[in-house]
Amino acid sequence: MKILTVSDKIEKSFFKEHLLKEKCRSIDLILACGDLPPYYLEYLLNGLNVPIFYVPGNHDERPQNLLAPKKPFARGCRNLHCKIIEHKGLLIGGLGGSMRYKKGRYLFSEVQMKRKVTGMVPRLLLNKKKFGRYIDILITHSPPFGIHDGSDLPHQGFKAFLHFIERYKPAYLVHGHTMPKNGQNITRYQSTTILNTNNWWIWDI
């Protein structure tokens, strides 16, 4: 399966349809790791005609009009925040947001993120019983603590993600939020490949 992962910054060349088709030839799935406008996700969905699963970033807040019906963030795209799904044999889960540095819908303390991981445990255990493994791909906005993260609080990674890797052993963790350091997009931690997708990446699984 060929996967396009995106986050944080719009790839302007994709708005030229022939370049989108050329660069993303034979894409089967799109995973979005946050801080992208809904129109961009909808454009990729329509242009490539493949499923999009996403998690919100720390800037993905929309003002709520209490008098209007609730609208999806990006039409046709599925939010995986705190969820796990099975898609064509792949077990994919998501945890959005970043470290809490101010008030915000998708800003969490370490304790809050740990609670969100705990909320996913029943589905993880069910997957282990049904499929023989907990999860294949975890998409996040922020990186794990100490891997691809920054020293400042807004860009600090979550220790909860390290514990998730150690306990549930996803084959891949894909994140955005930070810029790759020295061009390094990929790091291995235990049995998990950690990919910084900022701003886009294509890979095969």
Burial of 89 (0-12, 13-18, 19+ CB in 10 A): exposed
In the prediction, which pLDDT does 61 show? 73
Domains and CATH numbers, the chain: 2-204 (3.60.21.10)
pTM, full prediction: 0.93
In the prediction, which pLDDT does 173 show? 98
Could you count the other beta carbons within 10 Å of the beta carbon of residue 79? 17
In the prediction, which pLDDT does 70 show? 58
In the prediction, which pLDDT does 73 show? 81
Answer whether 113's CB lies under 8 Å from 55's CB. Answer: no
Token pair of 172 as six digits: 């891949």
Handedness of CA 46, 1, 169, 92 (dihedral sign): positive
pLDDT along the chain (205 residues), means of 10: 96 93 94 96 95 95 53 86 97 97 94 98 98 98 96 96 98 95 86 95 91
Closest CA to 117 of 87, 101, 134, 94: 94
In the prediction, which pLDDT does 164 show? 98
Burial of 91 (0-12, 13-18, 19+ CB in 10 A): buried
